[in-house]
Amino acid sequence: MKKLLSALLVVFLYTSVQAQILTPVKWSYAAKRISATEAVVFIKATIDNGWHIYSQNVKDGGPVKTEIKFTPAKTYKLIGKTTEPTPVTKFENAFKMNVSYFEREVIFQQKVKLTSPNATVVKGQLEYMSCNDHQCLPPEDVDFTVTIAK
């Protein structure tokens, strides 16, 4: 009987811990050729209600900014920096400073020059931090892959 109760307690605790894992941000990726030699990579964050992620342009001393790194490849070269829409900028008491962030959704865009006429695979990694009015989750790293069709 003690073993059965212990096993049930372990299952209950495991289930409780699993239910508490928060994932308020979902990422999706796409690309579109805009000419024979150029394309745009789209990186979209869909953010749960009440949560936000930070801009790429947050000053030191604040939250972890969103950072997008592209893996170098011979089949493409980056054109300029990754762009983002105009964020919300407000004072956040947790950081004692004005911070810029996005709610609901945001689409980051990166223009690339294609050096091959074939389909091109763009890979990279992004780092971001999500917060709501009560807590911030630890920063997360997400690998991504986008195929630019021929």
**Which residues on neighbouring strands pair with residue 19, listed in sequence order?**
none
Segments making up each domain of the chain, as ranges: 29-148
pLDDT at residue 8 tops 70: no
CATH for 29-148, options being 3.10.310.70, 2.60.40.1250, 1.20.120.10, 1.10.3720.10? 2.60.40.1250
142 CB-near residues (< 8 Å, 6+ apart): 27, 125, 126, 127, 128
For the entire predicted model, the pTM comes to 0.84
**Is 60 exceeded by the pLDDT of residue 64?**
yes
* Interval 118-143: pLDDT, tens: 999 999 999 999 999 999 999 999 99
Best CA proximity match to 85, nearest among 69, 67, 65, 105:
105
